Amino acid sequence: MTQLGEPPPPQEDDGDQPIVFVVDDDASMRRALTNLFESVGLKVEAFGSAPQLLHAKPPEVPSCLVLDIRLPGASGLDLQSDLAKANIHTPIIFITGYGDIPMTVRAMKSGAIDFLTKPVRDQDILDAVQAAIERDRKRRDFNRTVSTVRSRFESLSSRERDVLSLVTAGLMNKQVAAQLGLAEITVKIYRGQIMRKMGAKSLADLVRMSEALGIGSNKPDAQT
Amino acid sequence: MKPGRAATFGKSAAQFLAGCVRPTATAKPRSEHDGDDLLETVKQWQQVFEHTPVMYFMVDPAGTVINVNTFGAAQLGYAAAELIGRSVLDVFFEEDRDLVRACVTLCLETVDQSHTWEIRKIRKDGSVLWVRENAKTMLRADGGPIVLIACENITERKEAENALRQSEAYLAQAQELSHTGSFGWKAATREITWSKETYRIFQCDEGTKPKIPFMLQRIHPDDRLAVQQTTARAAREGKDYDHEYRLVMPDGSIKYVRAVARAMRDSNGCVEFVGSVTDITATKEAERRLRASEQRFRDYAETASDWFWETGPDHRVTQISEHSDTMTAPAGMIGLTRWDIAPDADLEPEKWQQHRAALDAHVPFRDLVYRSKDRSGQPIYVRTSGKPFFDTEGAFLGYRGVCTDVTAAIRANQAEDALRKAQAELAHVTRVTTLGELTASIAHEINQPLAAVIANADACLAWLQRSPPDLQAAGRSVEWIIEDGTRASDVIRRVRALAKRSDIDMAPLDANVVVRESVALVQREMASHAVSVRMELSSALPKIFGDRIQLQQVLINLIMNGIEAMEDVHDRPRELAIRSAASGDGAVLVSVSDCGVGISEQAIDRLFTPFFTTKSTGMGMGLSICRSIIEAHGGRLFAAPNREHGATFQITLPLHREETS
């Protein structure tokens, strides 16, 4: 994902240090993973079961989940779907004692970042964790950008929104004017106002923004 | 009394009276010479009167003694003067005096008639004198009556009579007591005499005369002919006989009698028999009972297939009972000691030393088992017990005892051992099979700490590579590595113990420890099946006695079954409850309850039979082996459906007893 207009300044201060969530019912495994992540300077929060994690406050910093796929009670896969239902999109790295192809397939389909078998090579898991945190950071950045664009979009009048959707759909000013029954000059004025209100520097910026908002496409309500 | 004698007596008495009482009144003096002669005659008669060995009394009608001769008085222990003038009643017993009065009165009423009777008199010393009195009233010259009594001493005869009567009474009593009657039988005249007891034995009225047809009628029909033959031959040959036969009494009861007779010849040379007949019914009955009792003991002894032996003071066999089952009782042992017989004497010297010490101490011994050979030379095991016996002086004579062939029991024990071994083998095989099913879980159990070891080791390196190195964190990581490594090796140890083919090792155990160790091995299996375990283990549990590995096997099996039973449960938590408790009756209960599909009524009966399975993959040996393991521990394993969901398998194990260890 590339630059989205003017993104809000990144807030990677000390309070924004990424967190690795470890969920493993095995205390020594939990302890070892925590130790490993801490040894490379990552902040770790460890849980013994899925419900414990679900009861914890959702993270506000880039983070990832390291899950044992065979958790007691609800399995790692169940937790994955529970998190999705709760609209928590923290990337998940599954680790398991032994390979299980159907389970791997299911995990990957559900958007797991990685699937590692125990004992994991430290570099593999650290790489996977770094990648997951990076992805989460980007997702968070993107989400933050989208919400900025959305609030700008909401400041547009309904006529401006109409013009925006037609312009980003690739129509010439003249075509927009004809379609909306407006003078071409009027369309030009609206367009200027839209560019300003949305903070877009070019038409390409505007198109990207409307794509992020899901306007101009055939799925206006799409959020994903 | 014969009239002739009375006349003689009367005459002499008259002469005596004429002479001594009133010599002048009745005598007609013919001359002086005559007078002298007469006097002389009277004197002579008086001498006769005084000393004739007959007691004479002369009594007046009032009963006063007028005269008594010296001999008579002396017989009574008196001097004549002591009696004269006294009442004659004084020499009679009080109770006889009425009789005396009556007799005297009778005599007085019948003058000149003689009367005779027998009566007792009392001597001066109080002893009895039996007399036969002959009395007659005579009129004296003055017309007054006097009673003249001559008394003959019959004491000896009376005593003989009494003795005879007594002896007869004794005899009758003895006959009655001994149930033995006597009889006489004159063969020629067919005359039979019976004693009182013989009458009683034949239940015949004493008044009737015994007759042969009556006897034959009394004799049991089956015995009649024999009796007739025996007696006929005895009569013909004049020989003694002795036979037994039965009588049928009027009430139908049977009496056994024995008749013994001696043959004699009478003065005419005819055969007659004198014999006894004894009622031997009681003896016969006792004999029958004794025989029955003997037979009973013989039956017992023979069916027990035991044999009895006796050894002498040198412990050599002197006697071995005859036995119907002659195959087992060894032969040709007379004269040998037990240790000569047993081929194991050399192999187990200690056992025989102890045995010989017991024998030399003359104490009883019990249940000595040794090897021997039966009559066909086949090796057998013998168990014997014996007790010493002594003579009346207390001297040791030897031992008496009984031997039992215990070969079958010993063989059965050996077979049982083999069976137990085979069961242990099978248990081992299924245990390994179970471990195979658990491979994934076990791998995980080992993999888990290994993964932790690697992660901690990586972390340790990372801590060390920091600048400056974080030595504290690195040290902590190494400690954790050690912990996790230990944990992995623990799992391996546990698995190896289960997989090992080991002999049964019975030891006092804490059932809770067995439960926890078993749960540890299947923890992962439960986790991966989303099964939670609830342990309700009683804290104060007495020790049980068992083989740790086999009991773990049972628990693992039950837990695995429970996990499988809950596979299809989605609407409720999959919970396995494991409980332990002490039961009141000296046992420990361990139960495993699931909330799975439960057990059907049909299945519950066959659950523990080999090769019964509801699973597509199972061999069906698991529960059957579990039960045989628990039963080998003296416990019980059974299953019952739960009220709501699933089933409960309950194990009962006996407590460890100190003295049995």
- Domains of chain A, CATH where assigned: 14-147 (3.40.50.2300), 155-213 (1.10.10.10)
Give the nearest partner residue to B451 out of A40, A74, A119, using CB atoms. A119
Neighbours of B475 (CB within 10 A): 12
> How far is B96 from B104, CA to CA, in rounded Å?
13
Predicted confidence at residue B23, as pLDDT, reads: 42
C-alpha distance from B535 to closest chain A C-alpha (Å): 16
Stretch (H or E) spanning B184: strand B180-186
Provide the β-strand partners of residue B637. Answer: B651
Residues of A with CB under 8 A from a CB of B: 25-26, 28-29, 31-33, 35-36, 38-40, 70-75, 97-98, 118-120, 122
Predicted confidence at residue B329, as pLDDT, reads: 62
Q: Which residue of chain A has the CA closest to B488?
A: A28
The span from the first CA to the last CA of chain A, in angstroms, equals: 14
**Measuring CA to CA, which residue among B447, B472, B444 is closest to residue A38?**
B472
C-alpha distance from B454 to closest chain A C-alpha (Å): 7
pTM: 0.46
**B473 part of contact set with chain A, CB < 8 Å:** yes
Predicted confidence at residue B19, as pLDDT, reads: 43
Give the nearest partner residue to B443 out of A35, A38, A98, using CB atoms. A98
Contacts of B440 in chain A (CB under 8 A): 98
Predicted confidence at residue B24, as pLDDT, reads: 43
In sequence order, what DSSP letters do the residues of chain A get, joined into one string?
A: ----SSPPPP--SGGG--EEEEE-S-HHHHHHHHHHHHHTT-EEEEESSHHHHHHSPPPSSSEEEEEESS-SSS-HHHHHHHHHHTT----EEEEESS--HHHHHHHHHTT-SEEEESSPPHHHHHHHHHHHHHHHHHHHHHHHHHHHHHHHHHTS-HHHHHHHHHHHTT--HHHHHHHHT--HHHHHHHHHHHHHHHT-SSHHHHHHHHHHHT-SSS-TT---
Give the nearest partner residue to A73 out of B458, B459, B530, using CB atoms. B530
> How far is A185 from A174, CA to CA, in rounded Å?
9
Predicted confidence at residue B585, as pLDDT, reads: 80
Contacts of B453 in chain A (CB under 8 A): 32, 119
> How far is B592 from B604, CA to CA, in rounded Å?
16
pLDDT tens sequence across B109-142: 888 889 998 999 999 998 888 999 999 998 888 8
Strand order in the sheet with B647-654: B531-537, B574-583, B587-593, B647-654, B636-641
- Radius of gyration from C-alpha coordinates of chain A: 23
A98/B451 CB distance under 8 A: no
A33/B455 CB distance under 8 A: yes
pLDDT tens sequence across B334-348: 888 888 877 776 777
How many residues make up chain A in this entry?
Answer: 224
A118/B451 CB distance under 8 A: yes
Stretch (H or E) spanning B45: helix B32-51
Predicted confidence at residue B289, as pLDDT, reads: 92
Contacts of B458 in chain A (CB under 8 A): 36, 39, 122
Best residue in B458, B487, B519, B572 for a mutation probing chain A (most A CBs within 10 Å): B458
> How far is A195 from A185, CA to CA, in rounded Å?
15
**B450 part of contact set with chain A, CB < 8 Å:** yes
Phi then psi dihedrals of residue B262, to 5 deg:
-110, 135
Q: Which residue of chain A has the CA closest to B487?
A: A28
**Measuring CA to CA, which residue among B236, B317, B220, B230 is closest to residue B270?**
B236
Residue pairs between chains A and B whose CB atoms are closer than 8 Å:
93
A36/B480 CB distance under 8 A: no
Predicted confidence at residue A45, as pLDDT, reads: 92
**B478 part of contact set with chain A, CB < 8 Å:** no
CA distances in angstroms from B425 to B141, B434, B502, B550, B631, listed in the order given? 143, 14, 9, 11, 16
**B484 part of contact set with chain A, CB < 8 Å:** yes
**Measuring CA to CA, which residue among B200, B259, B247, B240 is closest to residue B223?**
B247
C-alpha distance from A29 to closest chain B C-alpha (Å): 5
Cβ(B59)–Cβ(B147) below 8 Å: yes
Residue ranges in chain B whose pLDDT is less than 50:
1-27, 659-661
**Measuring CA to CA, which residue among B10, B18, B2 is closest to residue B137?**
B10
A119/B458 CB distance under 8 A: no
> How far is B610 from B625, CA to CA, in rounded Å?
8
Predicted confidence at residue B612, as pLDDT, reads: 64
C-alpha distance from A28 to closest chain B C-alpha (Å): 6
Residue ranges in chain A whose pLDDT is less than 50:
1-13, 217-224
B480/A73 CB distance under 8 A: no
